[in-house]
Amino acid sequence: MLARMAGRSVALSVLVLASSGLVFKADDDIKLDEVAASVISDFVTSAEFGITRSVCKPVPSTMGLCHGIGYEALRLPNLLGHDSVKEAQQQAAAWIPLVSKRCHSDTRKFLCSLFAPACLEELSAAVPPCRSLCAAVRDGCLPVMSAFGFPWPEAFNCSRFPAREELCIPGAEDAGRVEVTEKDRGIVLCDACSPASEGERDIQKNFCSSQFAFRLQMGSSTLEGVDLRVVPQGRSRILRWEGSEQEQQTAMQQSILWLPEATNCSCQALEGQVVGPLLALGNMQDGRMVLFRLMKWSRNEKELKKFIRKLTRQPC
């Protein structure tokens, strides 16, 4: 049975989850003991999962879906009935491609609340996602899943999860959220991604201050932790390189670009069907080519060649 939680402990929990983007509502008029008991009844000791001792384990660095999400420990069994880190990690890996589709800004938060729920000392059970969070992610991602022949899993049935009036993890758009930032809403651009109307100006302005500049074709992109791994297709054309020859050789052998902290922001250059050339500026950081600016070229090839000549003739 859950221990009675003091007001200070609950407030601390809210702050901890707020820092990781996972925040639950705790209204003053809610009896937390009753809510907590409901959480246990519905998600831990149900006939579906059986009775299992709850434990906390570190989120492994190899758990690509949830590593780096903002907390270090997960609670087992999780809300899908997995009672080992290995099982949770194996099952979670299948959902990384859906996150990379960016069908909803809260997809990763929702999935991690199920596969790797945050472990809070004040609670002896995992805090479930709010029903509204589940519904928002389902409505955003089900069309994408259906296009590939996948249904919404019964284990993700939103009716299983509590309403916002109870202890649960809300989505970024929920009114009961303790703190909502523009980044949490998922409507801001990633730092490296300029609006289409400002892209050429940004590329030209930052060309000389970047360590490298490429013209490339998009291959694939996948999330690894909070960063987006961008793999070009074919051979990229180097427009600028400021660094050692060894660094350049190593970077080109890797042929991977990184867009940092890309989980809750959008990048117009990588959305939809990426057809046509991209212009990329960036710097080497810890042996990785990290994107500083990225723009999808929307005009014809002749105009692109003219723009590239203008870039490369700048006195840097």
- Looking at the fold, whether 165 and 239 belong to one and the same domain comes out as no
Ranges 22-26, 120-124, 130-134, most confident: 130-134
- Cβ atoms of 246 and 284 closer than 8 Å: no
- Looking at the fold, whether 170 and 204 belong to one and the same domain comes out as no
Q: How far is CA 52 from the centre of its chain?
A: 30
SS3 letters across 158-180? HHHCCCCCCCCECCCCCCCCCCC
Indicate the residue among 176, 210, 226 that finishes a domain: 176
Please give the model's pTM, rounded to 2 decimal places.
0.47
Residue 7 within a domain:
no
Pairing of strands 277-285, 212-224: antiparallel
Residue 9 within a domain:
no
- Looking at the fold, whether 72 and 114 belong to one and the same domain comes out as yes
What's the CATH number where 305 sits?
A: 2.40.50.120
Residue 247 within a domain:
yes
Residue 15 within a domain:
no
Indicate the residue among 176, 192, 215 that finishes a domain: 176
In total, the chain counts a number of residues equal to 316
- Looking at the fold, whether 166 and 62 belong to one and the same domain comes out as yes
Torsion of CA 36, 37, 40, 45, to 10 degrees: 180
Residue 122 within a domain:
yes
- Looking at the fold, whether 207 and 157 belong to one and the same domain comes out as no
Number of domains in the chain: 2
Closest C-alpha to 224, from 21, 97, 65: 65
- Looking at the fold, whether 133 and 210 belong to one and the same domain comes out as no
The parent domain of residue 304 ranges over: 200-312
What's the CATH number where 70 sits?
A: 1.10.2000.10
The helix/strand count (H/E) of the chain reads as: 9, 7
pLDDT one-digit tens code per residue, 60-98:
988 989 988 888 899 999 999 999 999 999 999 999 888
Tokens 């609006």 locate to: 195
Residue 39 within a domain:
no
Alpha helices (runs of H) in the chain, residue ranges in sequence order = 7-19, 32-43, 85-93, 96-100, 107-115, 131-147, 199-206, 245-254, 301-312
pLDDT one-digit tens code per residue, 236-251:
888 988 877 777 676 6
